[in-house]
A and B are shown apart, each in its own frame.
Chain A
Amino acid sequence: MASPAMTSPAVAGRPPTSGLSVYRPPERTVARFVGVRAARLGAVAGVGMGIYVFATAAGYRLIAPNPAQRAQVLNNLAASTGLKVLLGQATRITSAAGFVDWRVVGVAAIVGPVCWLIVATRTLRGEEASGRWELVLAGRTTPRRATAAALAGLGAGLLPMFVAVALITRLSDTSLGARVGAGQALMFSLAVVAPAAEFLAIGAVASPVMPTKARAAALAAGAFGAAFLVRAAGDTAVSAHFLVYASPLGWVEQLHTLGRPQIVWLLPIGGLVVGCIWTTLFVAGQRDLGSSLLADTDAAEPRTALLGSPIAIAVRLSWQATTRWLAVVIVAGVLYGALARSAGQAFATSSTLQHLSGDLTHAIEPDLVSTGARAYAGIIFLLLATLLMAYAASAVGTLREDEAEGYLDNLVVRAVSRQRWLAGRVALTLAVIIVAAVLGGIVFWVAAAPEHAGLGIGQLAQAGLNSASPAVALAGLGVLLLGFAPRLMTVACWVLVAWAFMLDLLGAVIPVNHWLMDTSLLQHLAPAPAASPDWRVCLTYLAIGAAAAVAGGWRFTRRDLRGL
């Protein structure tokens, strides 16, 4: 853990011993060790969100040339079902402050929970599964005190995020068109950080429930998915609006900190966090080290299926994770497909939006609802493309993990070549991407068809395939990094995904330098089915992916295998 720091010359209750260094209590070391790492992420996230606040505020005036047109565009945005699903109910977005509040908190309620639930499960379950936690607990501490220290460290990691967002919001008040006081900036920053805090706490609770960090993260991610769906259903269906109040994300949405603050919603948020922390600490004091509430049986009859080759074992070991990804695609397809007609109507009535998103709707057809539905589907399939990129980043990340953890050694010291292993794993990743992409299109069609949204299955399947191409390129780039910079690979892949997603969000609201936009893997993708898939662009993505994979594979077969 962190280098120990000297404190008082003696431990309480014990006489000072000559020549014996006395260290801080282990809990402080744990909190500091965890806190420093969490604070790095918090600082990066805070600056990123702060820039997003500034960019959104600065871009507000650029949405339309005059206030009347701007109000029309914004009212149409507020009425968009798809955006309600994604970012929540927009209120008072005809003011810069309200607009920023809606967009930034909406995005923070997606990105923050995902990042911090992973951090929480990695810290609490991951450290225990690796055996390092055992070393901590062998010291002068108890499981409950050490867990409390780790939670304190994780919580401290949110502080830089909170401070950065508050500071940049305060400095952006000119762009926001209204005086934003320090108190209001702090409240707004609290709303940005709140979803992260909620799911950090939920991740902490999930950690002792599952035996591995991946499964604990999946459990917490399931809770996030449920909270998102409940909030989205409450925001889109008038008759079910009460559902918003049943979701931790809905509580955050209700804060409206840059409009008319409803600070009463901090109570359930705080209650959730405190409740989760209390539960985590209670369970930490009750259970055995290494145990989990939902444990697998440690003994089993041997099942020898899918043990015959490297690719077979990869299928066997990854099918659960793959199934989870496909389930996310299916659920999202059903959800967004069912909203296609109502979203299409909103798009069809928005002439300004049509103008703004001309590339989405240039194929004007007599049936405006159908055209609107295509425009909406175009946005949703861009989200599918982001999701597929996230899968690609995750899948190629496991290649590096297998190398770093030493699993690959078991294969390549036998009659398995590195080429064969890599080619098999990449092929498996590509197959899942293609299946998920086509499945996403088909499921969207199945959900949209009863609503008569005017979208064909072939059209949507093609749109799915179109969405797969950035993920294929990313997988290839991942292999390139695996070959040349293996230790950077996982982080770099996720940065590429986050970068593309952020630019996509920013570019939809404010003018962004086209050179900058061109660095996004999503930028060049035709927004099918709103526009026809540009197969030349798709082929370019494939060519980039293939060239990168070949170069990376070439290097991978010639370099040293490297550990962590």
Chain B
Amino acid sequence: MAPVAAAQPVRGTPTRPETSIVIQTRGLTKRYRHVTALDSLDLDVGVGEVLGFLGPNGAGKTTTIRLLLGLIRPTAGTAAIFGLDAQADKVAVHARVAYVPGEAALWPSLTGAETLELLARLQGQADLAYRNELIRRFDLDTSIRIRAYSKGNRQKVNLIAALASRADLLVLDEPTAGLDPVMEQAFRLSIREASERGQTVFLSSHVLSEVEALCDRVAILRRGRLVEIGTLAELRHLSALTVEATFPGEPPDVTGIPGVSAVTVTGRQLTCQVRGPVANLLAAVAAARPDSLLSREPSLEELFLTIYGAPQDVPAADFDG
């Protein structure tokens, strides 16, 4: 990419914002006629935090992001970013926010370089040296017009523009959609760099391994409601421990043990899940003298499936342990 000098370099060394809370929502609600897209969201995101925002299709993730950015107006509740009203002080908020949409609508006739320059000028700041580094890292040919780019390359343009802005808050909505695994690694590296610089990241994603690898905390949305939020360690306590054991003979019957569920016997192998104290299960398994015993914490994917596999009408509290 030819060097561009029109955009202003990042203003000084990024410092931590004055307030400790970057994003704060209270009772944030959005209804479309009879559909409640987001229901009373209370959420705090701290300075320098990387928050993973999870939920199935239609859970309200993009609605939340569009409310935070002031693209749509809440039916009820408030959202503040850097202590400013996300609706009333949009322009002041946006000066410190960089956004990567899930599907980039970029101007087809502009080249990648022109688009990056335009987005930088609109943003008001860009770290040009870092932008060039990102262009190399994401292996983007910026002389190509947007209309000739693949979906992944368009997404790279958005990502580079956002990351190079060194904005205090990065709002990323499915940012790696269309990226190949190598580029996904480049993305993870970039987010870690942003986090190390003290930038806050709000990451909506379906790639659970990505969230698991990057995020300090995870918020899970379901049907417009926040059903879980916490660190991965905290969330793991919500789900059952998986136990797999192989026996020399027939596996013992563990179905009656309190807290044990999802018992599966395949030949000499027993698989089950256990919530709460494991002493009774271990005693039953040990009595049968197992050849091998494996227990492991649930992955984020299993946590996610546990929460979404539950009946639709179960309130959030029912997931607690």
**Interface of chain A residues 231 through 251 with chain B (CB within 8 A):** none
Known A298-B144, A304-B114, A415-B95; judge A407-B69 contact (CB<8 A). no
**B124 and A415 within 8 A (CB):** yes
Q: Which residues of B contact A559 (CB under 8 A)?
A: 73
* Nearest CB of chain A from residue B315's CB, rounded to whole Å: 29
Residue of B114, B117, B119, B145 touching A410 (CB-CB under 8 A): B119
B1 within 8 A of A: yes
Which chain B residue lies CB-closest to A419? Answer: B91
Task: Give complex CA distance A304, B103 in Å.
Answer: 24
Q: Which residues of B contact A304 (CB under 8 A)?
A: 4, 6, 114, 117
How many residues from B make CB contacts under 8 Å with A?
A: 40
Q: Which residues of B contact A2 (CB under 8 A)?
A: none
B134 within 8 A of A: no
A495 within 8 A of B: no
Interface residue tally on A, bucketed by range: 20 to 34
A411 within 8 A of B: yes
Known A307-B117, A417-B91; judge A410-B103 contact (CB<8 A). no
Q: Which residues of A contact B109 (CB under 8 A)?
A: 296, 317
* Nearest CB of chain B from residue A377's CB, rounded to whole Å: 39
Known A415-B95, A561-B72; judge A302-B121 contact (CB<8 A). no
Q: Which residues of B contact A410 (CB under 8 A)?
A: 105-106, 119, 122
Residue of B2, B73, B97, B106 touching A413 (CB-CB under 8 A): B97
A405 within 8 A of B: yes
Task: Give complex CA distance A301, B145 in Å.
Answer: 10
Task: Give complex CA distance A314, B97 in Å.
Answer: 23
Q: Which residues of B contact A299 (CB under 8 A)?
A: 111, 141, 143-145, 148
Pick the most buried of A310, A413, A561: most chain B CB atoms within 10 A of its CB: A413
Q: Which residues of B contact A308 (CB under 8 A)?
A: 6, 121
Pick the most buried of B107, B119, B122, B141: most chain A CB atoms within 10 A of its CB: B122
A303 within 8 A of B: yes
Q: Which residues of A contact B66 (CB under 8 A)?
A: 560-561
* Nearest CB of chain B from residue A300's CB, rounded to whole Å: 5
**Interface of chain B residues 48 through 106 with chain A (CB within 8 A):** 66, 69-73, 90-91, 94-95, 97, 99, 101, 103, 105-106
**A302 and B2 within 8 A (CB):** yes
**A301 and B119 within 8 A (CB):** no
Q: Which residues of B contact A407 (CB under 8 A)?
A: 105-107
Q: Which residues of B contact A307 (CB under 8 A)?
A: 6, 114, 117-118, 121
**A415 and B121 within 8 A (CB):** no
Residue of A302, A310, A409 touching B101 (CB-CB under 8 A): A409
Q: Which residues of B contact A558 (CB under 8 A)?
A: 73
Chief secondary structure at chain A's binding surface: loop
Task: Give complex CA distance A228, B66 in Å.
Answer: 49
Mark each residue of chain A from 260 to 304: 1 if its CB lies under 8 Å from any CB of chain B, else 0: 000000000000000000000000000000000000101111111
Task: Give complex CA distance A561, B144 in Å.
Answer: 30
Q: Which residues of B contact A561 (CB under 8 A)?
A: 66, 71-72
Residue of B2, B103, B111 touching A406 (CB-CB under 8 A): B103
Mark each residue of chain A from 389 to 429: 1 if its CB lies under 8 Å from any CB of chain B, else 0: 00000000000000001110111111111000000000000
* Nearest CB of chain B from residue A416's CB, rounded to whole Å: 6
A178 within 8 A of B: no
Residue of B95, B103, B118, B148 touching A298 (CB-CB under 8 A): B148
B142 within 8 A of A: yes
Which chain B residue lies CB-closest to A306? Answer: B118
Q: Which residues of B contact A5 (CB under 8 A)?
A: none
Residue of B70, B99, B114 touching A303 (CB-CB under 8 A): B114
Which chain A residue lies CB-closest to B68? Answer: A413
Task: Give complex CA distance A317, B147 in Å.
Answer: 14
A313 within 8 A of B: yes
**Interface of chain A residues 526 through 561 with chain B (CB within 8 A):** 558-561
B246 within 8 A of A: no
* Nearest CB of chain A from residue B63's CB, rounded to whole Å: 10
B135 within 8 A of A: no
Which chain A residue lies CB-closest to B87? Answer: A558
**A302 and B90 within 8 A (CB):** no
B123 within 8 A of A: yes
B113 within 8 A of A: yes
Q: Which residues of A contact B73 (CB under 8 A)?
A: 558-560
Residue of A301, A302, A416 touching B122 (CB-CB under 8 A): A416
**Interface of chain B residues 120 through 152 with chain A (CB within 8 A):** 121-124, 141-145, 147-148
Task: Give complex CA distance A310, B144 in Å.
Answer: 22
Task: Give complex CA distance A416, B95 in Å.
Answer: 9
**A406 and B148 within 8 A (CB):** no
Q: Which residues of B contact A211 (CB under 8 A)?
A: 147
Residue of B91, B103, B117 touching A415 (CB-CB under 8 A): B91
Task: Give complex CA distance A300, B115 in Å.
Answer: 12
**B117 and A409 within 8 A (CB):** no
Task: Give complex CA distance A269, B259 in Å.
Answer: 82
**A302 and B105 within 8 A (CB):** no
Q: Which residues of B contact A405 (CB under 8 A)?
A: 105
**A414 and B122 within 8 A (CB):** yes
Q: Which residues of A contact B117 (CB under 8 A)?
A: 302, 304, 307
Q: Which residues of A contact B113 (CB under 8 A)?
A: 302
Residue of B4, B72, B97, B107 touching A560 (CB-CB under 8 A): B72
Q: Which residues of A contact B94 (CB under 8 A)?
A: 412-416
**A414 and B71 within 8 A (CB):** no
**Interface of chain B residues 135 through 183 with chain A (CB within 8 A):** 141-145, 147-148
Q: Which residues of A contact B69 (CB under 8 A)?
A: 412-413
* Nearest CB of chain A from residue B132's CB, rounded to whole Å: 13
Known A298-B148, A307-B118, A560-B72; judge A413-B99 contact (CB<8 A). yes
**B123 and A301 within 8 A (CB):** no
Task: Give complex CA distance A410, B1 in Å.
Answer: 22
Q: Which residues of A contact B101 (CB under 8 A)?
A: 406, 409
Q: Which residues of A contact B106 (CB under 8 A)?
A: 407, 410
Other than the given A301-B2, A412-B69, 18 more pairs (CB < 8 A) read A211-B147, A298-B145, A298-B148, A299-B141, A300-B111, A301-B143, A302-B2, A302-B114, A302-B117, A302-B142, A307-B121, A310-B122, A313-B118, A405-B105, A413-B94, A560-B72, A560-B73, A561-B66
28 pairs from A and B in contact (CB 8 Å cutoff): A212-B108, A298-B144, A298-B145, A299-B144, A299-B145, A301-B2, A302-B2, A302-B117, A302-B143, A304-B6, A307-B117, A317-B107, A317-B109, A405-B105, A406-B105, A409-B71, A410-B105, A411-B122, A412-B70, A412-B71, A413-B99, A414-B119, A414-B122, A415-B94, A415-B122, A417-B91, A560-B66, A560-B72
Closest 3 CB pairs of A and B: A406-B105, A298-B148, A302-B113
